[in-house]
Amino acid sequence: MSDHAHPTPVAHQFDDREQQTEVGRLGMWLFLATEILFFGGLFTAYLVMRWKWPEAFAVANSKMDVTLGAINTAVLLTSSLTMALGVRAAQLGRGKGSFALIIATMVFGLAFLGIKAVEYARKFQEGLFPGPGFVFEGATGRQVETFFSLYFMMTGLHALHMVVGIGILTVIAAMIRRGRFSPDYYAPVEISGLYWHFVDIIWIFLFPLLYLIHPHL
Amino acid sequence: MSHETAVEGTNYLNNGYSLRSWFLTTDHKRIAILYLFTIVLFFFVGGSFAVLMRLELMSPQGTLVQAETYNKLFTMHGIVMIFFFLIPSIPAVLGNFLIPMMVGARDLAFPRLNLLSWYVFVAGASVTLFALVTGGLDTGWTFYTPFSTSYSNTRVVPAMVGIFITGFSSILTGLNFIVTVHKMRAPGLTWFRLPLFVWSLYATSLVMVLATPVLAITVAMVAFERATGIGIFNPAIGGDPLLFQHLFWFYSHPAVYIMILPAMGVVSEVIATFSRKEVFGYRFVAAASLAIAVYGFLVWGHHMFVSGQSVYAGLVFSILSYLVAIPSAVKVFNWTATLYKGQIWFQTPLLYAFGFIGLFTIGGLTGLFLAAMAVDVHLTDTYFIVAHFHYIMVGGAVMGFMAGIHYWWPKITGRLYPEGWAKFSALVLFVGFNLTFFPQFLLGYLGMPRRYYHYPPEFQVLNVLSTAGASILGVGYLIPLIYLLWSLKRGKVAGANPWGATTLEWQTASPPITQNFPTTPVVTSGSYEFPALEEVHSE
Ligand SMILES: [Cu+2]
């Protein structure tokens, strides 16, 4: 089972391992292109709304917890570092090292989600969750509500991608544990890494757009 | 004996008969068959809505159905035909079956994702059907806000969920094709030796992968806003309903090319084979597919000339829309040039290809009327639009689908369809189609608006003509259904290459073996090098 030269056989439609690896890599890049357009709809909506209601967005922004957002940004960037190091360790055939790094990535991912949950809970308590319970004093109340519906849709979709990413890494960690990878074959680790970095990059855009409007107006 | 020869030895059809061997297959050819059954079912579901509408429009007062029912009928006709027939028709059936064979591969790059795409499609279709049978939908297939988000009393949320899910099957199919064309080509099969069908499916796949996610997130936002009352489209709370139109048409204009580009690919193959000539200007036809896919992303605003979009934006969209006509015309001229001095063999697929060229040209040229802003103001939301896009979608895409199904039927089933019946029904379809939709150009020009269940009495003659045409059209679709099923058992055994075609899929058995080719083919020439043309001519 753990023959290290060929841990898993090449699928029948491929001629060799190299072709299989290239196919997987291109497939993931294309999937990420799809994802960019998927988030792109929300980013477009955000831009239009911010263009339309700049004051309301600035007011709404003052309700954002920049500290927690910044901490989360740091947590996520660190997780990308451990992910990259995990791929490198798998490439070098260091099973234990890559296992530990993937687990660390997952822990950072979970920490991000935990902090996000705290933020969400506070927004609920402050009555900033859009809908019947929404309370905001002032003339721009409805537009502030629009900001918060975008906030919850964008960060919610991002968090969903984090959950999926943690699921993928769980599988990868289990595969590392079983000795499925070698310096010749570590494509699944690499491809999962691409996905993880992508989710990270989305946040890199979300953080300034959602948390840092006010200081620049 | 004669019945047995077709199924001698194993092929993909007799390689297992259990339900499991079909529903858990990863063979691209079997998945294509699964898709074929599904979309044909939806074609007749969508067609039955059209029958009811045409019956209703026989008389000006509206006698058959109520206004509300009529609104649901045209909505459901559009949704079913576009999302559950036209979009998957050629790509998911013929593309699935043929792309691996045309590139000399054993399967698509991701066989399991391919199967998943069918299950996702069925899941999305089921949710949408649930919405349709539990009350239906009356927003039109365009789901314009704020009607869909705030005012419609019909089943918007489940319909949006169904379409959201279905989108992912389209994305998976497109992704699979792109990777397959890039990475799975046989030795010697360079990009400019690829069949033009592969080129056009490649361009289609780019659109599927890049446009569909925008539709997905848009319908998700509509469903969210509808369900929770909060969101970004409702002007009453500072939202922007025009934003919905931008996002929707950013997908839905390119979606027209998801429907028409594959049909163009079929026509290129059919014309080459039945005129025994290399496609004239092969590289230009290939590049035109990509050009159409790229331009297609830049013209969505021509659907919004009267929506309150800026006049300057309208101007730019108008000019860009005109530019799409260039690569489309390149194709039409090159097909015509291919036929010129070709050795023409009038078989059914070629008849359908001729139908495509003629009807697509009419659809395309009337599209230029509509791309002109001033004319569009007069024609927007009239039957002229309805006629225009049916010339593209039925006259173009469905004719292309029929051409492809007939052309590759011997490859898919190992049997020939009955040629006489097939030619007859091609003729019936052509006549029925024109009689149905040409009067609608006139109706629209005279000012009859679309989406109404009654109309002023002076429009009745043209409407009755259109309904009469629709019944002929219906017969034209039923005849092939019958003789194609009949041919499965009774048709003549086709042999590997009944048309003398040159592309790779014809160089292996009909029906093909599960691995497609006994050994991986090695390609040494272009796709359309027909032998001994001079000798035939000099006789
Ligand atoms: Cu358009």
Q: Residues A7-34: pLDDT tens digits?
A: 567 888 898 888 999 999 999 999 999 9
Other CB atoms within a 10 A radius of the CB of residue B277 amount to: 20
Percentage of chain B lying above the pLDDT 70 cut: 97
Does the structure show a pLDDT above 70 at B12?
yes
pLDDT score for B462: 97
Question: Would you say B432 and B472 are in contact if contact means Cβ atoms under 8 Å apart?
Answer: yes
Within an 8 Å CB–CB cutoff, is residue B243 touching chain A?
yes
Distance CA B114, CA A167 (A): 22
pLDDT score for A128: 87
Chain B residues touching residue A11 (CB < 8 angstroms): 111
Does the structure show a pLDDT above 80 at A78?
yes
Give the distance from residue A37's alpha carbon to the nearest chain B alpha carbon, in angstroms: 6
pLDDT band at B537 (very low <50, low <70, confident <90, very high): very low
Lowest mean pLDDT segment, chosen from A63-77, A187-201, B25-39, B517-531:
B517-531
Within an 8 Å CB–CB cutoff, is residue B297 touching chain A?
no
Question: Would you say B127 and B161 are in contact if contact means Cβ atoms under 8 Å apart?
Answer: yes
User: B216, A38: Cβ pair inside 8 Å?
Assistant: yes
Chain B residues touching residue A39 (CB < 8 angstroms): 217
Nearest to B179 among A26, A35, A40 (CB): A26
Does the structure show a pLDDT above 90 at B63?
no
pLDDT band at B4 (very low <50, low <70, confident <90, very high): very low
What distances in angstroms separate CA B310 from CA A46, B266, B314, one per listed residue?
20, 39, 6
Within an 8 Å CB–CB cutoff, is residue A127 touching chain B?
no
Beta strands in B175-232 (DSSP E): none
**Chain CA centroid to CA B220, Å:** 24
CATH code where residue A79 lies: 1.20.120.80
pLDDT score for A215: 56
Q: B275: which residues sit within 8 A by CB, 6+ positions away?
A: B338, B339, B342, B343, B344, B345, B350
Within an 8 Å CB–CB cutoff, is residue A130 touching chain B?
yes
Angle formed at CA B446 by CA B445 and CA B447, multiple of 5 degrees: 90
Distance CA B14, CA A124 (A): 60
**What mean pLDDT, rounded, does chain B reach?**
93
Does the structure show a pLDDT above 90 at B229?
no
Does the structure show a pLDDT above 70 at A5?
no
Question: Would you say B432 and B388 are in contact if contact means Cβ atoms under 8 Å apart?
Answer: no
Residue found by looking up tokens 């010339």 in the block? B391
Per-residue 3-state assignment (H helix, E strand, C coil) for B241-307: HHHHHHHHHHHHHHHHHHHHHHHHHHHHHHHHHHHCCCCCCHHHHHHHHHHHHHHHCCCHHHHCCCC
pLDDT band at A4 (very low <50, low <70, confident <90, very high): very low
Does the structure show a pLDDT above 90 at B309?
no
Per-residue pLDDT reduced to its tens digit, B191-212? 999 999 999 999 999 999 999 9
Q: What are phi and psi of A185, to 5 degrees?
A: -140, 95
pLDDT band at B316 (very low <50, low <70, confident <90, very high): very high
Query: Could you tell me where the DSSP H helices lie in A4-94?
Result: 17-52, 54-61, 66-91
Does the structure show a pLDDT above 70 at B278?
yes
Within an 8 Å CB–CB cutoff, is residue A35 touching chain B?
yes
Domain limits, chain B:
27-538
Q: Determine, yes or no, domain membership for A11.
A: no
Does the structure show a pLDDT above 90 at B1?
no
Could you give the 3-state DSSP secondary structure of residue A92? coil
Give the distance from residue B452's alpha carbon to the nearest chain A alpha carbon, in angstroms: 32
Nearest to A131 among B109, B228, B246 (CB): B228
Percentage of chain A lying above the pLDDT 90 cut: 71
Give the distance from residue A17's alpha carbon to the nearest chain B alpha carbon, in angstroms: 12
User: Is domain B27-538 classified as CATH 1.10.3720.10?
Assistant: no
Class of residue B456 by CB neighbours under 10 A (exposed 0-12, middle 13-18, buried 19+): exposed
**B275: which 2 tokens?**
């005129």
pLDDT score for B512: 95
Give the distance from residue B323's alpha carbon to the nearest chain A alpha carbon, in angstroms: 24
Could you give the 3-state DSSP secondary structure of residue B372? coil
Distance CA B233, CA B245 (A): 10
Question: Would you say A153 and B221 are in contact if contact means Cβ atoms under 8 Å apart?
Answer: yes
Nearest to A33 among B210, B214, B239 (CB): B210
pLDDT score for B232: 86
Does the structure show a pLDDT above 90 at B7?
no
User: B238, A142: Cβ pair inside 8 Å?
Assistant: yes
Within an 8 Å CB–CB cutoff, is residue B179 touching chain A?
yes
Per-residue pLDDT reduced to its tens digit, B345-366? 999 999 999 999 999 999 999 9
pLDDT score for B468: 97
B212, B217, B222, best to mutate vs chain A, most A CBs in 10 Å: B217
Nearest to A41 among B105, B218, B224 (CB): B218
Per-residue pLDDT reduced to its tens digit, B217-226? 999 999 988 8
Which of B28, B94, B188 lies closest to B404 in space, CA to CA? Answer: B94
pLDDT score for B25: 94
Q: Determine, yes or no, domain membership for A7.
A: no
Distance CA B518, CA B512 (A): 10
Q: Which of A44-58, A69-83, B304-318 tops mean pLDDT?
A: A69-83
Does the structure show a pLDDT above 90 at A62?
no
Listed by number, the residues of chain A in 139-178 with a beta carbon closer than 8 Å to a beta carbon of chain B are 142-143, 145-146, 149-150, 153
Question: Would you say B84 and B166 are in contact if contact means Cβ atoms under 8 Å apart?
Answer: yes
Distance CA A16, CA B285 (A): 33
Other CB atoms within a 10 A radius of the CB of residue A36 amount to: 14
User: B213, A40: Cβ pair inside 8 Å?
Assistant: yes
Q: Determine, yes or no, domain membership for A1.
A: no
Q: Determine, yes or no, domain membership for A128.
A: yes
Could you give the 3-state DSSP secondary structure of residue B115? helix
What is this model's ipTM? 0.91
Question: Would you say B425 and B479 are in contact if contact means Cβ atoms under 8 Å apart?
Answer: yes
Range of the domain at A87: 17-212
Could you give the 3-state DSSP secondary structure of residue B449? strand
β-strand partners of B382:
B449
Within an 8 Å CB–CB cutoff, is residue B103 touching chain A?
no
**What type of residue is A66?**
V
pLDDT score for B231: 80
Class of residue B190 by CB neighbours under 10 A (exposed 0-12, middle 13-18, buried 19+): exposed
Chain A residues touching residue B230 (CB < 8 angstroms): 130-131, 134, 145-146, 149
CA atoms within 13 A on the CB side of B329: 8
Does the structure show a pLDDT above 50 at B51?
yes
pLDDT band at B532 (very low <50, low <70, confident <90, very high): low
Taking the centre of ligand 1 as the mean of its atom positions, its distance from the CA of residue B311, in whole angstroms, is 17
Does the structure show a pLDDT above 60 at B190?
yes
Give the distance from residue A93's alpha carbon to the nearest chain B alpha carbon, in angstroms: 27
What distances in angstroms separate CA B113 from CA A148, B20, B79, B172, B526, one per listed residue?
36, 17, 25, 7, 31
In total, how many domains does chain A have? 1
**B356: which 2 tokens?**
């495509």
